[in-house]
């Protein structure tokens, strides 16, 4: 195997990736370029490039990917109605393929032969990063330090950082957290015991329901081709719209789940997720489909949701099966345009009205009043024909 000359590292500026930066240089005698992606995590990234350079990086890139993330990753996922194990809206999962894409592009642009990440050997992120890189650049090597180095604990990392003059933040976090514009996840601390209630420090993007307003708030979301384009009559870019929905949802305690999920690597793990804006968007989109999607088209699309969601969760965003499902999904969304009115109240998102120029709802057919278009007597033949199979199966009960 040829030597490693130049590595592009997914870099947050925290202790783990700062230690990885220096460890890569020492272990492989290589050059390191850092890539920091702004995905709407609401962190101050000022100075993160300077920290990388002072730690030894030959180049430090900080990129604003918020609009690309919302437009090309979150929105396609929401068009598909993706939800993992019927609860998780895939906030961490959907960010990884974009970071991997930029790692590959940065490696290509800078003549790097290797990329590196800070995901651990127990988690899903290592799979997501590496399968994405495999899909986009199978010739690039991937280094996952947590799987090969001899640093086994936080104390080991602190000692390494102090030895090599890497500055550490003064505070410590209670939880292991991942944040972007779509969500904030919490793991660790008391959450490692599935019986214990999550502590108050795990409320960041949302308030507890008991602190939400006592009066509901109504909002209207407009969609075009399955994508949200306007909020309360005002048009916004995808990233800006999600940001505004986060504020609304957080204020009303919307979008918080506490679950034990099945990781791809084979273990169960507990996590708390805050997805306020995404939960509103998910509910509104689903409701609008109720009047714009044909019944059989909806059933076909819905049958693919578990497969599509698992593809994202397990790291197969760039796999051919996800792309094939996406093509079908996008075809179903061509008429998912219109407006949904929702009531936000104490953790609930309640659709209360919907309208669309492509509505399949016919009031003259659905009415309980007298109508001139439906002959109720025709239902007898419909029921009898559908009962042929059942009556034949139960023929043993006929005297």
> What local confidence, expressed as pLDDT, does residue 375 receive?
77
Check 16, 49, 178, 227 and give the catalytic one: 16
161 shares its domain with 265: no
Judge whether 151 lies within some domain: yes
- Contact assessment for residue 177 and residue 185, using Cβ atoms and an 8 Å cutoff: yes
Reduce the DSSP state of residue 225 to 3 states and report it: coil
Q: Which of 183, 162, 184, 158 is nearest to 172 (CA)?
A: 158
In the residue annotation, 49 being an active-site residue is answered as: no
Q: Domain with 48 in it: what CATH number?
A: 3.40.50.620
SS3 content of the chain, % helix, strand, coil (to 5): 45, 20, 35
> Which residue(s) pair with 217 in the sheet?
344
> What local confidence, expressed as pLDDT, does residue 366 receive?
67
In the residue annotation, 150 being an active-site residue is answered as: no
In the residue annotation, 79 being an active-site residue is answered as: no
Judge whether 155 lies within some domain: yes
234-235/256-262 β-pairing = unpaired
161 shares its domain with 212: no
> What local confidence, expressed as pLDDT, does residue 359 receive?
97
pLDDT along the chain (399 residues), means of 10: 90 94 96 98 91 96 98 98 98 98 98 96 94 98 96 90 86 84 96 97 97 98 98 98 98 98 94 98 98 98 98 98 98 98 98 97 74 79 88 75
Judge whether 46 lies within some domain: yes
- Contact assessment for residue 65 and residue 28, using Cβ atoms and an 8 Å cutoff: no
Output Rg (C-alpha) for the chain, integer angstroms.
25
Judge whether 126 lies within some domain: yes
Residue 283 neighbours by CB under 8 Å, 6+ apart: 342, 349, 351
187 shares its domain with 334: yes
223 shares its domain with 280: yes
> What local confidence, expressed as pLDDT, does residue 373 receive?
76
Distance (Å, rounded) from C-alpha 390 to C-alpha 163? 77
CA distances from 189 to 90, 92, 124, 207, 270 (A): 22, 19, 19, 20, 11
> What local confidence, expressed as pLDDT, does residue 171 receive?
62
Q: Which of 285, 291, 209 is nearest to 245 (CA)?
A: 285
169 shares its domain with 188: no
Check 96, 128, 335, 354 and give the catalytic one: 96
Distance (Å, rounded) from C-alpha 265 to C-alpha 369? 57
CA distances from 389 to 6, 184, 305, 398 (A): 68, 51, 30, 14
Phi, psi (deg, nearest 5) at residue 17 = -75, -25
Check 49, 125, 178, 287 and give the catalytic one: 125
21 shares its domain with 145: yes
Q: Could you report how far apart the first and last alpha carbons of the chain are, in Å?
A: 80
Q: Is the dihedral of CA 344, 349, 352, 356 positive or negative?
A: positive
CA distances from 82 to 68, 235, 279, 335 (A): 19, 24, 12, 19
Question: Could you tell me the residue range of the domain that residue 119 belongs to?
Answer: 6-64+93-174
Judge whether 229 lies within some domain: yes
> What local confidence, expressed as pLDDT, does residue 256 receive?
97
In the residue annotation, 96 being an active-site residue is answered as: yes
Residue 68 neighbours by CB under 8 Å, 6+ apart: 98
Check 54, 113, 176, 263 and give the catalytic one: 176
Q: Domain with 215 in it: what CATH number?
A: 3.90.1260.10
pTM exceeds 0.75 for this model:
yes
Distance (Å, rounded) from C-alpha 217 to C-alpha 222? 17
Overall number of domains in the chain: 2
């Amino acid at each position: 195997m040829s030597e490693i000359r130049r590595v592009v590292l997914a870099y947050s500026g925290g202790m783990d990736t700062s230690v990885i930066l220096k460890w890569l240089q020492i272990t492989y005698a290589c050059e390191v370029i850092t890539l920091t992606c702004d995905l709407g995590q609401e962190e101050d990234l000022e100075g993160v490039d300077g920290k990388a350079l002072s730690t030894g990086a030959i180049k430090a890139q900080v990129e604003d990917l918020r609009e690309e993330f919302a437009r090309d990753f979150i929105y396609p996922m929401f068009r598909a109605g993706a939800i993992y194990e019927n609860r998780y809206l895939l906030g961490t999962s959907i960010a990884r393929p974009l970071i991997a894409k930029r790692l590959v592009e940065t490696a290509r642009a800078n003549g790097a032969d290797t990329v590196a990440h800070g995901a651990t050997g127990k988690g899903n992120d290592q799979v997501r990063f590496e399968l994405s890189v495999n899909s986009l650049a199978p010739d690039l090597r991937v280094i996952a330090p947590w799987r090969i180095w001899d640093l086994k604990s936080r104390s080991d990392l602190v000692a390494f950082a102090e030895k090599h003059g890497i500055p550490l933040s003064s505070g410590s976090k209670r939880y292991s957290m991942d944040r972007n514009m779509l969500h904030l996840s919490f793991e660790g601390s008391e959450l490692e015991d599935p019986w214990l209630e999550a502590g108050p420090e795990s409320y960041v993007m949302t308030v507890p329901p008991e602190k939400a307003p006592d009066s509901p708030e109504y909002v209207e979301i407009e969609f075009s081709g399955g994508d949200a384009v306007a909020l309360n009559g005002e048009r916004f870019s995808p990233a800006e719209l999600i940001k505004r929905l986060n504020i609304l949802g957080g204020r009303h305690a919307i979008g918080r789940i506490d679950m034990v999920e099945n990781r791809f690597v084979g273990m169960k793990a507990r996590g708390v997720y805050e997805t306020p804006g995404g939960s509103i968007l998910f509910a509104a989109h689903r409701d609008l489909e109720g009047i714009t999607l044909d019944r059989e088209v909806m059933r076909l699309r819905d049958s693919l949701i578990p497969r599509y969601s698992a593809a994202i969760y397990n790291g197969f965003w760039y796999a051919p099966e996800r792309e094939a499902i996406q093509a079908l999904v996008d075809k179903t969304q061509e008429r998912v345009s219109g407006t949904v009115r929702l009531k936000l109240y104490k953790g609930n998102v309640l659709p209360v009205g919907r309208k669309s120029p492509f509505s399949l709802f016919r009031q003259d057919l659905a009415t309980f009043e007298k109508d001139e278009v439906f002959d109720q007597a025709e239902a007898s033949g419909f029921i009898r024909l559908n009962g042929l199979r059942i009556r034949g199966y139960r023929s043993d009960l006929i005297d």
